[in-house]
Amino acid sequence: MIKSFLESLEDPKRPLFGPNYWLLKKIGLVTPDHILSRMYYILHTIFVFSQYMELYVIRSNQELVLLNLKISMLSIVNMTKANTFVIWQSNWRQVIDYITNADNFERDNQDEAKGKIINSYTKYCRRVTYLYWVLVFSTLISVITTPLMKWYLSYDYREAYKNGTEVFPHIFVSWMPIDKESSPGSWITVLWHSCICAYGASTMAAYDTSVMVILVCFGGKLDLLRIRCKEMFGVIEEAISDEEAEAVVRQLHEIHVQLLKHSRMFNSVLSPVMFVYVVMCSLMICASAFQLTSATNNTQKILTAEYLIFGIAQLFMFCWHSNDVIYKSQQVIMGPYESKWWAVGLQQRKNMLILQGQLKIMHIYTAGPFTDLTLATFVSILKGAYSYYTLLRE
């Protein structure tokens, strides 16, 4: 059953991006003019504002403030992802169309060496996508069910609620225009929170895996470009003519220019989101770590630990794949040196030097104007989060 479902996600027109495009369509990110899509964005935005309204109300309760901050910061990031995807819809479509066309071009012109790279990054994208979906939706289930399990499995808690010494175990801490502490308002709030949580998880799964697949595609394209540069003067001892060499160099130059153009376009729509995410993730990891060490309830510890692991894993995935593209961008220049440049004429060597100058331009992805998305940045964020944590502890 699972296998047939996964096969149904495949798209012959999008052999690399098929499952990701399917989820983007399902939640309305690539069809923003649909009335349901607009309704989702409006309701999501209202919910985020209601969280900060409640934060002001409970500002004197440190435990509730930390719980609210941990989730509301993630909500801010999700809202930013969804809204910027819609605002910059044309740029996103251009990037998605580019990686689809570039991937189809490589599949139509592959040999044994290129085929290994294509099959390798395709399988990797599927594993990353499906494992990340499992991680996101398992977190969704735990977030929704943990408060309800606390209600149904603890007789003492229900009695304390009836006595007025405990409050109803809501999924999120947010303001509601109804009485959310007694029925039916409490269960209306649970339903509202569950729907918002499901939409937020779907948005996160669609956006994040799309970003990862695009980064992997750029990295794979750089690997393939290196092989093409290696074969630019042929794979046999016979020299090719100057006209043939010029045509090959022109094609390689065009491939790299298009790759660089869409890579920069992709960074222009990703960088502002990553800036918000890096700032919020630092605070979210700090709040989760503090709540994990100060929590006395085992259920709360498990939920907080999962939040902490998910936040760190999410940040690592972005930094890892971005760092991988930067590394491959540095290595692609070795392609011309690996060719038979020493066996060709002076004009062909000049063409190769022109191509090398083009290949020196690096692909770098940033989080706003302040930092690059690298593994060094990932370590710095963890250090900063730990510093905030120690400050809170004191």
What are the pLDDT digits (tens) for 299-339? 666 767 777 777 788 888 888 889 999 888 888 888 888 87
Residue 89 has what pLDDT?
87
Asked if pLDDT for residue 33 goes beyond 60, the answer is no
pLDDT of residue 264: 92
Q: Where is pLDDT greater, at 159 or 257?
A: 257
Q: What is the pTM of this model?
A: 0.88
pLDDT at 67: 67
Model confidence at 346, in pLDDT bands (50, 70, 90)?
confident
| Higher pLDDT pick, 71 / 255 | 255
Region 115-127: mean pLDDT is: 91
In this structure, of 90-104, 196-210, 266-280, 370-384, the range with the lowest mean pLDDT score is 370-384
The helix (run of H) or strand (run of E) holding residue 25 is helix 18-26
The pLDDT score that the predictor gives to residue 236 is 53
DSSP state of 361: S
* pLDDT for residue 295: 61
Residues 367 and 271: beta-carbon distance below 8 Å: yes
- The alpha carbon dihedral of 320, 325, 328, 333 has a sign of negative
% of the chain exceeding 70 in pLDDT: 87
| Stretch among 128-142, 163-177, 299-313 having the lowest mean pLDDT | 299-313
Residue 294: C-alpha distances to residues 233, 243, 285, 319 (Å):
65, 72, 14, 29
Amino acid at 81: K
Position 299 scores a pLDDT of 63
Handedness of CA 271, 274, 280, 283 (dihedral sign): negative
CA 389 remoteness from chain centre: 25
Of the candidate ranges 32-41, 96-105, 128-137, 155-164, the one whose mean pLDDT is the lowest = 32-41
Instruction: Please determine, for residue 286, whether its predicted confidence score (pLDDT) is greater than 90.
Output: no
The identity of residue 255, as a single letter, is I
> In the structure, what pLDDT confidence band is assigned to residue 213 with cuts at 50, 70 and 90?
very high
28-37, 38-47, 101-110: range with highest mean pLDDT: 101-110
Average pLDDT rounded to a whole number, residues 219-245: 77
The reported pLDDT for the residue numbered 150 is 73
pLDDT at 51: 78
Question: At 109, phi and psi to the nearest 5?
Answer: -125, 35
Residue 119 clears pLDDT 70, i.e. is over it: yes
Q: Does the structure show a pLDDT above 80 at 387?
A: no
What residue has token string 């494992």?
A: 131
Mean pLDDT of 109-127: 88
How far apart (Å, rounded) are the C-alpha atoms in residues 67 and 291? 8
pLDDT for 34-76, tens place per residue? 565 667 777 777 888 887 787 777 777 766 676 677 777 778 8
Structure tokens at 69: 């901050």
pLDDT of residue 209: 92
Which one is predicted more confidently, 242 or 163?
163
